[in-house]
Amino acid sequence: MLLRCRWFTCLALLACCCCQVSLCALTNTSSTWAVIVNASRFWLNYRHTANAMTLYHSLKRLGMPDSRIILMHADCATCDPRTYRPGKTFYRPNDVYLDSDTDVEIDYRDMEVNAESVMRVLTGNVGYGAASSQVLGSDSESNVLLFLTGHGGDSFLKFHDQSELMAADLGAAVEYMTMVGMCKRVLVVLDTCQASTMYEDIRTHGWAGAASSKRDQSSYALNSDSRVGTFLIDEFSHHMFEFLKRNKAIEDGATFDDMISYIMSRKMSSEVQFDQSRSRNVALKDFFVPHVQAAQPVSLKNHQPWQQQQQHQKGIASSDVWRRKLV
């Protein structure tokens, strides 16, 4: 009888330890998040798909998990029946494409991607029943990377050639994120025509940004391919992708200013815009490499399930995690 009691006591202690380890794992939340938005549709805008996909692949290669990336494709040319290699994103001529495209997980696609959905994602107001993969789960210690590409103009970004995200909306969203504790810092990167006009209305602190072009100036495409039948990628995104492939530089503490200087040293047809005073001390690894906070023991008595915390903080109900994969 004594042996049986000791056996049950050991099992109980083991169960408590397992619960404590599991709860510690739940608190190992990454403080780095990324929102990647491709606002264009139609085959002729193939390059905008490549702009988004090259950044997505750079983040994945640097260790960012899909659970920390919200990928929004208004139209993913990779899945278009006109591509001669379905599931592959070409960014250079002569059949050069991104590896492992079958592992891409898209959170918003087609008509789900619009100005309203982008604003909802950034402000945490995605609505009842949204999948957890569609929710920006950042907090007051998070660094958030926001990348926007598509067709833009003076203080707007077009979606589906039907609606626009205005610079004032983007400025309000970033300010809201800072005020309610959804981020510590935001890095805004835009690859559109007249891109710099999109962040002119950001008035809050804790942000830095770069744009592929200035007011009244277009951004330009690069690398056309006869088999694809259109341009493959834009200049700014191509050079950013080439820099991000330099793992050693990022590990050695390369800054956002270093990356922009590299892009500007290439043969660009537009003038890259950025605020050097804001970007000088921004380490790339803070936004492009996942950073995991140290686990803190959590009391079993006071612990709340992750879904309940999300409902309390954001006022939404979480559903099972689901992902849509490229075919």
Q: Report the catalytic residues.
A: 151, 193
**Tokens 């277009």 found at:** 218
- Can you state the percent helix, strand and coil of the chain, rounding each to 5? 40, 20, 40
The CA-based dihedral angle spanning residues 246, 252, 257, 260, taken in that order and rounded to the nearest 10 degrees: -10
Cα–Cα distance between 38 and 51 in angstroms, integer? 8
DSSP 281-307: T-BTHHHHS--BPPP----TTT---HH
Contacts of 151 (CB under 8 A, 6+ apart): 39, 40, 45, 48, 157, 158, 161, 192, 193
H helix intervals, the chain: 2-26, 46-61, 115-123, 167-179, 235-244, 247-251, 256-265, 276-279, 285-288, 306-314
CA angle 133, 137, 143 (to 5 degrees): 120
Contacts of 178 (CB under 8 A, 6+ apart): 186, 204, 205, 206, 207
What is the SS3 assignment for 244?
helix
CA neighbor of 76 nearest in space, from 111, 105, 41: 41
